[in-house]
């Protein structure tokens, strides 16, 4: 195994050196500087794999040694000892099924063709075309800073939609100290009108001000042709410590999040997904702060503790969060002078209910005693309810829940 791994790494470096020599020659004959930057960036992101798995959706999943993942490119993590399990998990985690109305289990599509061995983590391989779709190599894997979820005013600013091009349908709590959040999220495949638009459903762990120094940890599912090159529904995470300006990224596209799990790949396709008046599928996401080490941990479903964001990445979140949000977000580019037809959730309005509209259920927060509990005084916010809307509810089986989403452009949302 050792010799095999050594040989793989040697061959990988041979290929890299060949590319550098080739690109150096090609640059003199017309190869752009950006192409050279792209190849260097791919070399930083795509770590040597001891096994690679081709997914039916076209992805390649590389099984990379835990100690060689992108997180450890960070200068503060060069001597970091990996925490292989949290010291504490929130009290009150209850068992629930991973799906509703189906006997099938949600998996990721690449699982159909293999799994990564112990001691490795699965990383979606980055391709040249992925990076070239970004506005610059430096911005690859980063949100535009204008995608900040805004404070929830009693009445939205008149030009809010035109200011940032992002629209939300969100439930939120604020005014207390929060140490995590949990939700079970219905999974769909909303249609996207323009490649530079996206649709996502997620939870936000927030601290600081929205203007310039926001700390945010985010996790959920998204459809983003610009980031992934397709319309697949994918698991994702995001973090920032400066309001999306320079720090943070999606998934493992920069150093930061430390993954310990060998079964779930950030950015990989979720399968199966819900369909109209048919089987409904959910994912469950929990993010919480380890009260001993101060790291923020993420769990996917009931079984997969994925890893953690080290405490030093954040300023405001080094203690606790001041706001939690759950819900949907889309980009409305208004490229043809009209509202986008990009869908949020299932593309149906919340009043249509189960099997038609998308939902979040069992939304919870983690309190100062490391207990999961039902949030109080939940507010809702949407910039334009005629395009995307949200309706809260509560019952014994789903706890606090809401239906949300919409089709975008329609007769009442021109």
Where in the sequence numbering do the catalytic residues fall? Answer: 218, 329
For residue 165, is it left (φ>0), alpha (ψ between -120 and 50) or beta?
A: left
CB within 8 Å of 80: residues ≥ 6 apart? 72, 258, 310
Secondary element (H or E) of residue 24: helix 2-28
- Longest Cα pair distance anywhere in the chain, in angstroms? 68
Two tokens, residue 163:
């200011």
Query: Smallest Cα–Cα separation from 104: which of 183, 200, 221, 187?
Result: 187
Q: Which of 20, 277, 259 lies closest to 119, judged by CA? A: 259
* CB-count exposure of residue 40 (10 Å: 0-12, 13-18, 19+): middle
Closest CA to 179 of 301, 296, 18: 296
User: What SS3 state is found at 325?
Assistant: strand
The residues that bridge with 194 in the sheet, in sequence order, are none
Query: How deeply is 84 buried, as exposed, middle or buried, from its count of CB atoms within 10 A (0-12, 13-18, 19+)?
Result: exposed
Sign of the C-alpha dihedral computed for residues 161, 163, 167 and 168 taken in this order:
negative
Under 8 Å CB-to-CB from 2, ≥6 apart: which residues?
none
Say how many CA atoms lie within 13 Å of 389 toward its Cβ. 15
């Amino acid at each position: 195994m050792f010799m095999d791994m050594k040989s793989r790494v040697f061959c990988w470096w041979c290929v890299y050196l060949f590319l550098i020599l080739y690109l150096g020659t090609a640059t003199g004959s017309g190869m752009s500087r950006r192409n050279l930057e792209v190849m260097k960036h791919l070399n930083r992101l795509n770590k040597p794999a001891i096994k690679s798995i081709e997914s039916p959706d076209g992805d390649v999943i590389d099984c990379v040694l835990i100690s060689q993942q992108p997180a450890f490119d960070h200068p503060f993590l060069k001597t970091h000892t990996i925490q292989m399990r949290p010291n504490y998990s929130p009290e009150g985690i209850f068992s629930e099924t991973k799906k509703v109305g189906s006997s099938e289990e949600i998996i990721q599509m690449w699982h159909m063709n293999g799994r990564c061995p112990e001691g490795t983590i699965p990383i979606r391989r980055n391709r040249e075309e992925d990076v070239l779709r970004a506005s610059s190599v430096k911005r690859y894997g980063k949100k535009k800073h204008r995608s900040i979820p805004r404070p929830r005013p009693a009445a939205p600013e008149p030009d809010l939609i035109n200011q940032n091009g992002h629209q939300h349908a969100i439930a939120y709590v604020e005014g207390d100290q929060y140490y995590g959040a949990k939700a079970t999220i219905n999974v769909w495949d909303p249609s996207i009108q323009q490649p530079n638009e996206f649709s996502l459903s997620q939870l936000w762990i927030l601290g600081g001000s929205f203007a310039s120094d926001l700390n945010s940890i985010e996790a959920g599912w998204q459809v983003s042709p610009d980031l992934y090159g397709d319309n697949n529904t994918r698991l994702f995470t995001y973090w920032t410590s400066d309001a999306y300006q320079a720090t943070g990224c999606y998934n493992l596209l920069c150093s930061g999040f430390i993954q310990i799990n060998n079964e779930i790949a950030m950015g990989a396709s979720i399968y199966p997904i819900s369909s109209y008046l048919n089987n409904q599928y959910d994912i469950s996401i929990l993010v919480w702060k380890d009260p001993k080490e101060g790291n923020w941990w993420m769990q996917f479903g009931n079984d997969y503790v994925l890893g953690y964001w080290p405490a030093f990445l954040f300023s405001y979140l080094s203690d606790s969060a001041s706001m939690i949000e759950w819900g949907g977000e889309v980009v409305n580019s208004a490229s043809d002078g009209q509202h986008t037809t990009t869908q949020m959730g299932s593309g149906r309005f919340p009043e249509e209910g189960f099997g038609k509209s998308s939902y979040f259920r069992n939304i919870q927060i983690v309190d100062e005693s490391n207990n999961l509990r039902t949030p109080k005084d939940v507010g809702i916010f949407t910039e334009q309810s005629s395009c995307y809307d949200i309706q809260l509810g509560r019952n014994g089986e789903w706890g606090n829940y809401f239906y949300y989403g919409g089709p975008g452009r329609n007769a009442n949302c021109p």
